[in-house]
Amino acid sequence: MTLLEVKSLTKNFGGLTAVSDVNLVLEEQELVGLIGPNGAGKTTLFNLLTGVYEPSEGEVIFDGEKLNGKKPYKIANKGLGRTFQNIRLFKELSVLENVLVAMNEKNKEGFFTSVLRLPKFYQTEDRIKNETLKLLSIFQLEEKAEERAKNLSYGEQRRLEIVRALATQPKVLFLDEPAAGMNPQETAELTELIRKIQKEFKISIVLIEHDMSLVMDVCERIYVLEYGKLIAHGTPNEIKENPKVIQAYLGGEI
Ligand SMILES: Nc1ncnc2c1ncn2[C@@H]1O[C@H](COP(=O)(O)OP(=O)(O)OP(=O)(O)O)[C@@H](O)[C@H]1O
Protein backbone atom coordinates (compact mmCIF):
# COMPACT_ATOMS: atom_id res chain seq x y z
CA MET A 1 0.00 0.00 0.00
CA THR A 2 1.22 3.52 -0.77
CA LEU A 3 2.16 5.34 2.41
CA LEU A 4 3.62 8.57 1.09
CA GLU A 5 2.94 10.34 -2.16
CA VAL A 6 4.76 13.42 -3.39
CA LYS A 7 3.14 15.30 -6.25
CA SER A 8 4.89 17.98 -8.31
CA LEU A 9 6.81 19.24 -5.30
CA THR A 10 8.79 22.44 -5.83
CA LYS A 11 10.78 24.67 -3.48
CA ASN A 12 12.18 28.01 -4.54
CA PHE A 13 14.70 29.98 -2.50
CA GLY A 14 14.57 33.40 -4.17
CA GLY A 15 15.78 32.75 -7.70
CA LEU A 16 17.06 29.24 -6.94
CA THR A 17 14.80 26.22 -7.44
CA ALA A 18 16.24 23.71 -4.95
CA VAL A 19 13.51 21.10 -5.60
CA SER A 20 11.76 21.14 -8.93
CA ASP A 21 8.53 19.31 -9.81
CA VAL A 22 9.41 16.12 -7.92
CA ASN A 23 7.02 13.17 -7.95
CA LEU A 24 7.64 10.05 -5.89
CA VAL A 25 5.90 7.34 -3.93
CA LEU A 26 6.85 5.28 -0.93
CA GLU A 27 5.17 1.98 -0.20
CA GLU A 28 4.69 0.43 3.24
CA GLN A 29 7.83 -1.24 4.62
CA GLU A 30 9.98 -0.13 1.72
CA LEU A 31 13.62 0.84 1.94
CA VAL A 32 14.28 3.59 -0.59
CA GLY A 33 17.43 5.55 -1.34
CA LEU A 34 17.63 9.22 -2.33
CA ILE A 35 20.93 10.08 -3.98
CA GLY A 36 22.43 12.86 -6.04
CA PRO A 37 25.52 15.07 -6.22
CA ASN A 38 26.17 17.79 -3.60
CA GLY A 39 23.54 20.52 -3.69
CA ALA A 40 21.07 18.35 -5.67
CA GLY A 41 18.22 19.14 -3.25
CA LYS A 42 18.10 15.96 -1.16
CA THR A 43 18.02 17.60 2.28
CA THR A 44 15.61 20.26 1.03
CA LEU A 45 13.29 17.46 -0.07
CA PHE A 46 13.50 15.88 3.43
CA ASN A 47 12.79 19.30 4.91
CA LEU A 48 9.70 19.64 2.72
CA LEU A 49 8.45 16.18 3.68
CA THR A 50 8.91 16.77 7.41
CA GLY A 51 7.40 20.26 7.49
CA VAL A 52 10.62 22.23 8.08
CA TYR A 53 9.91 24.06 4.80
CA GLU A 54 6.60 24.78 3.13
CA PRO A 55 6.49 23.77 -0.53
CA SER A 56 6.33 26.57 -3.11
CA GLU A 57 4.16 24.23 -5.17
CA GLY A 58 2.91 20.66 -5.03
CA GLU A 59 1.59 18.28 -2.41
CA VAL A 60 2.78 15.79 0.17
CA ILE A 61 0.20 13.13 1.01
CA PHE A 62 0.81 10.76 3.89
CA ASP A 63 -1.58 7.94 4.74
CA GLY A 64 -4.20 9.64 2.57
CA GLU A 65 -3.84 13.02 4.33
CA LYS A 66 -2.36 16.21 2.88
CA LEU A 67 0.56 17.43 5.00
CA ASN A 68 1.10 20.85 3.39
CA GLY A 69 1.13 23.65 5.94
CA LYS A 70 1.37 21.35 9.00
CA LYS A 71 3.99 22.09 11.66
CA PRO A 72 6.99 19.73 11.97
CA TYR A 73 5.86 18.36 15.39
CA LYS A 74 2.39 17.57 14.01
CA ILE A 75 3.98 15.76 11.07
CA ALA A 76 6.28 13.88 13.46
CA ASN A 77 3.26 12.84 15.54
CA LYS A 78 1.59 11.51 12.41
CA GLY A 79 4.47 9.07 11.97
CA LEU A 80 7.27 10.73 10.01
CA GLY A 81 10.51 10.50 11.97
CA ARG A 82 13.92 11.77 10.90
CA THR A 83 17.56 12.22 11.68
CA PHE A 84 19.67 15.20 10.61
CA GLN A 85 22.95 15.49 8.72
CA ASN A 86 24.57 17.13 11.75
CA ILE A 87 24.21 15.33 15.07
CA ARG A 88 21.56 16.97 17.26
CA LEU A 89 21.77 15.26 20.64
CA PHE A 90 21.46 16.81 24.07
CA LYS A 91 25.16 16.39 24.80
CA GLU A 92 24.93 16.93 28.56
CA LEU A 93 22.01 14.53 29.05
CA SER A 94 22.43 10.77 29.45
CA VAL A 95 21.76 8.38 26.60
CA LEU A 96 18.56 7.24 28.34
CA GLU A 97 17.38 10.82 28.90
CA ASN A 98 18.00 11.69 25.26
CA VAL A 99 15.58 8.96 24.21
CA LEU A 100 13.05 9.75 26.96
CA VAL A 101 12.85 13.35 25.76
CA ALA A 102 12.04 12.11 22.25
CA MET A 103 9.41 9.70 23.60
CA ASN A 104 7.83 12.32 25.80
CA GLU A 105 5.48 13.84 23.22
CA LYS A 106 4.00 10.47 22.32
CA ASN A 107 3.39 9.35 25.91
CA LYS A 108 2.05 12.45 27.59
CA GLU A 109 0.05 11.49 30.68
CA GLY A 110 -2.94 13.48 31.82
CA PHE A 111 -2.05 16.68 33.67
CA PHE A 112 -3.41 15.51 37.06
CA THR A 113 -1.82 12.05 36.77
CA SER A 114 1.56 13.71 36.29
CA VAL A 115 1.28 16.54 38.79
CA LEU A 116 -0.25 14.43 41.56
CA ARG A 117 2.15 11.57 40.82
CA LEU A 118 -0.73 9.08 40.75
CA PRO A 119 0.16 5.33 40.51
CA LYS A 120 -0.52 5.43 36.78
CA PHE A 121 2.26 8.01 36.43
CA TYR A 122 4.86 5.60 37.89
CA GLN A 123 3.50 2.65 35.91
CA THR A 124 3.81 4.65 32.71
CA GLU A 125 7.27 5.87 33.69
CA ASP A 126 8.50 2.31 34.31
CA ARG A 127 6.97 1.06 31.09
CA ILE A 128 8.60 3.84 29.06
CA LYS A 129 11.97 3.24 30.71
CA ASN A 130 11.78 -0.49 29.96
CA GLU A 131 10.79 0.16 26.34
CA THR A 132 13.67 2.60 26.01
CA LEU A 133 16.21 0.12 27.39
CA LYS A 134 14.89 -2.52 24.97
CA LEU A 135 15.34 -0.08 22.10
CA LEU A 136 18.85 0.81 23.26
CA SER A 137 19.82 -2.86 23.44
CA ILE A 138 18.94 -3.37 19.75
CA PHE A 139 21.46 -0.62 19.01
CA GLN A 140 24.03 -1.96 21.47
CA LEU A 141 23.72 1.14 23.60
CA GLU A 142 22.06 -0.39 26.66
CA GLU A 143 25.27 -0.46 28.68
CA LYS A 144 25.79 3.22 27.91
CA ALA A 145 22.31 4.21 29.10
CA GLU A 146 23.62 6.34 31.98
CA GLU A 147 26.56 7.78 30.02
CA ARG A 148 26.37 11.42 28.87
CA ALA A 149 25.76 11.63 25.13
CA LYS A 150 28.91 13.73 24.63
CA ASN A 151 31.07 10.83 25.89
CA LEU A 152 29.86 8.41 23.21
CA SER A 153 31.98 7.60 20.18
CA TYR A 154 30.95 9.19 16.89
CA GLY A 155 29.35 5.98 15.61
CA GLU A 156 27.44 5.55 18.89
CA GLN A 157 26.15 9.13 18.71
CA ARG A 158 24.84 8.48 15.20
CA ARG A 159 23.15 5.28 16.42
CA LEU A 160 21.60 7.19 19.33
CA GLU A 161 20.15 9.69 16.85
CA ILE A 162 18.41 6.82 15.07
CA VAL A 163 17.11 5.48 18.41
CA ARG A 164 15.70 8.94 19.19
CA ALA A 165 13.91 9.04 15.84
CA LEU A 166 12.52 5.52 16.37
CA ALA A 167 11.32 6.43 19.86
CA THR A 168 8.64 8.58 18.23
CA GLN A 169 7.25 5.36 16.70
CA PRO A 170 7.40 6.50 13.09
CA LYS A 171 5.82 4.75 10.13
CA VAL A 172 8.46 6.32 7.90
CA LEU A 173 12.00 7.04 9.00
CA PHE A 174 14.07 9.57 7.04
CA LEU A 175 17.81 9.09 7.55
CA ASP A 176 19.95 12.00 6.33
CA GLU A 177 23.48 10.73 5.65
CA PRO A 178 23.61 8.33 8.61
CA ALA A 179 27.06 7.04 7.61
CA ALA A 180 28.65 10.50 7.27
CA GLY A 181 32.00 10.54 9.08
CA MET A 182 31.87 6.83 9.94
CA ASN A 183 34.82 4.50 9.40
CA PRO A 184 34.34 1.38 7.19
CA GLN A 185 33.72 -0.87 10.19
CA GLU A 186 31.05 1.48 11.60
CA THR A 187 29.47 1.80 8.13
CA ALA A 188 29.28 -1.99 7.78
CA GLU A 189 27.59 -2.24 11.20
CA LEU A 190 25.19 0.55 10.24
CA THR A 191 24.25 -1.29 7.03
CA GLU A 192 23.20 -4.32 9.08
CA LEU A 193 21.39 -2.10 11.55
CA ILE A 194 19.32 -0.40 8.86
CA ARG A 195 18.20 -3.80 7.58
CA LYS A 196 17.37 -4.87 11.12
CA ILE A 197 15.35 -1.70 11.80
CA GLN A 198 13.23 -2.23 8.72
CA LYS A 199 12.52 -5.87 9.62
CA GLU A 200 11.95 -5.47 13.36
CA PHE A 201 9.97 -2.23 13.29
CA LYS A 202 8.19 -2.97 10.00
CA ILE A 203 8.54 0.62 8.84
CA SER A 204 9.50 2.36 5.62
CA ILE A 205 12.91 3.99 5.43
CA VAL A 206 14.14 6.73 3.11
CA LEU A 207 17.89 7.05 3.09
CA ILE A 208 20.03 9.96 1.85
CA GLU A 209 23.57 8.71 1.58
CA HIS A 210 26.76 9.46 -0.31
CA ASP A 211 28.24 6.04 0.47
CA MET A 212 27.14 4.26 -2.72
CA SER A 213 28.00 0.76 -1.52
CA LEU A 214 25.68 1.23 1.46
CA VAL A 215 22.87 2.56 -0.75
CA MET A 216 23.24 -0.15 -3.38
CA ASP A 217 23.45 -2.80 -0.68
CA VAL A 218 20.32 -1.99 1.37
CA CYS A 219 17.90 -0.07 -0.88
CA GLU A 220 15.15 -1.78 -2.84
CA ARG A 221 14.58 1.28 -5.03
CA ILE A 222 16.54 4.46 -5.56
CA TYR A 223 15.54 7.97 -6.64
CA VAL A 224 18.23 10.23 -8.14
CA LEU A 225 18.13 14.03 -7.93
CA GLU A 226 20.26 16.48 -9.89
CA TYR A 227 19.83 20.26 -9.69
CA GLY A 228 16.52 19.71 -7.87
CA LYS A 229 15.03 17.48 -10.56
CA LEU A 230 14.46 13.73 -10.46
CA ILE A 231 16.59 12.33 -13.25
CA ALA A 232 16.07 8.61 -12.58
CA HIS A 233 14.49 6.02 -10.37
CA GLY A 234 14.71 2.24 -10.27
CA THR A 235 16.38 -0.75 -8.66
CA PRO A 236 20.05 -0.45 -7.63
CA ASN A 237 21.10 -2.38 -10.74
CA GLU A 238 19.06 -0.14 -13.04
CA ILE A 239 20.49 2.97 -11.35
CA LYS A 240 24.09 1.74 -11.61
CA GLU A 241 23.69 1.38 -15.36
CA ASN A 242 21.61 4.50 -16.04
CA PRO A 243 23.60 6.82 -18.37
CA LYS A 244 21.96 9.98 -16.89
CA VAL A 245 23.10 8.94 -13.40
CA ILE A 246 26.63 8.16 -14.56
CA GLN A 247 26.72 11.53 -16.33
CA ALA A 248 25.49 13.33 -13.18
CA TYR A 249 28.12 11.73 -10.99
CA LEU A 250 31.07 11.57 -13.35
CA GLY A 251 30.37 14.57 -15.56
CA GLY A 252 30.13 12.36 -18.60
CA GLU A 253 33.51 10.70 -18.14
CA ILE A 254 32.28 7.13 -18.09
N1 LIG B 1 17.50 27.72 3.31
C2 LIG B 1 18.05 27.87 2.12
N3 LIG B 1 18.15 29.08 1.53
C4 LIG B 1 18.69 29.23 0.32
N5 LIG B 1 19.20 28.22 -0.41
C6 LIG B 1 19.15 26.99 0.11
C7 LIG B 1 18.59 26.74 1.41
N8 LIG B 1 18.69 25.41 1.68
C9 LIG B 1 19.28 24.85 0.60
N10 LIG B 1 19.57 25.79 -0.32
C11 LIG B 1 20.18 25.57 -1.63
O12 LIG B 1 19.40 24.57 -2.29
C13 LIG B 1 20.23 23.69 -3.04
C14 LIG B 1 19.99 22.28 -2.57
O15 LIG B 1 20.56 22.12 -1.27
P16 LIG B 1 20.41 20.78 -0.41
O17 LIG B 1 21.11 21.01 0.88
O18 LIG B 1 19.00 20.37 -0.38
O19 LIG B 1 21.24 19.74 -1.30
P20 LIG B 1 21.74 18.29 -0.93
O21 LIG B 1 21.45 17.44 -2.12
O22 LIG B 1 21.17 17.85 0.36
O23 LIG B 1 23.31 18.51 -0.80
P24 LIG B 1 24.42 17.74 0.07
O25 LIG B 1 24.56 16.37 -0.52
O26 LIG B 1 25.65 18.58 -0.15
O27 LIG B 1 23.95 17.72 1.49
C28 LIG B 1 21.67 24.17 -2.83
O29 LIG B 1 22.01 24.98 -3.93
C30 LIG B 1 21.58 24.97 -1.56
O31 LIG B 1 22.58 25.97 -1.52
pLDDT at 204: 96
Q: Report the candidate in 247, 171, 180, 244 with the shortest Cα–Cα distance to residue 215.
A: 180
In a domain? residue 84: no
What total number of domains does the chain contain?
Answer: 2
- Check whether residue 132 and residue 8 sit in a common domain: no
Residue 79 Cβ contacting ligand 1 at under 6 Å: no
102 and 203 share one domain: no
Same structural domain, 73 and 5: yes
- ipTM comes to 0.96
Cα-to-centroid distance, 39 and ligand 1 (Å): 5
Tell me, in angstroms, the distance from the centre of ligand 1 to residue 10's CA: 13
**Calpha distance 173→177 (Å, rounded):** 13
- Tell me, using a 6 A CB cutoff, whether residue 42 lines ligand 1: yes
Residues 179 and 141 placed together within one structural domain of the fold: no
pTM metric for this prediction: 0.89
| CA atoms within a 13 Å half-sphere pointing along the CA-CB vector of 80 | 25
Residue 85 lies in a domain: no
Give the length of the chain.
254
Task: Supply the range of the domain harboring residue 107.
Answer: 90-163
Q: Cα(166)–Cα(125) distance, rounded to whole angstroms?
A: 18
For 105-228, list the strands marked E by DSSP.
Answer: 172-176, 204-208, 221-226
pLDDT of residue 139: 92
Instruction: Give the closest residue (by CA) to ligand 1 atom 4.
Output: 13
Q: Average pLDDT for consecutive 10-residue bins of the chain (254 residues)?
A: 96 96 96 95 96 96 93 92 88 93 64 56 73 90 95 93 92 94 90 91 94 93 97 96 89 50
Tell me: do 57 and 119 sit in the same domain.
no
Q: Which of 38, 2, 47, 41 is nearest to 18 (CA)?
A: 41
Residue 108 confidence (pLDDT): 52
Residue 18 C-alpha to ligand 1 middle, in angstroms? 6
Report the nearest-CA residue for atom 26 of ligand 1: 38
Q: 35: which residues sit within 8 A by CB, 6+ positions away?
A: 42, 208, 209, 210, 212, 215, 222, 223, 224, 225, 239
* CATH number for position 183: 3.40.50.300
Where among 163, 192, 216 does a domain terminate?
Answer: 163
Indicate if 211 and 158 belong to the same structural domain: no
Q: Which residues have a Cβ under 8 Å from the Cβ of 37 and sit 6 or more positions away?
A: 226, 248, 249
| pLDDT of amino acid 254 | 37
How far apart are the C-alpha atoms of 156 and 129, rounded to whole Å?
A: 20
Alpha carbons 131 and 107: distance in angstroms, whole number: 12
CB 165 within 8 A of CB 82: yes
> Per residue in 210-241, is it b (16+ CB within 10 Å) or e — as a string?
ebeebbbbbbebbbbbbbbebbbbeebeebee
Backbone angles phi, psi at 146, to 5 degrees: -95, -5
State the pLDDT at residue 81.
93
Determine if ligand 1 sits within 6 Å of the CB of residue 86: no
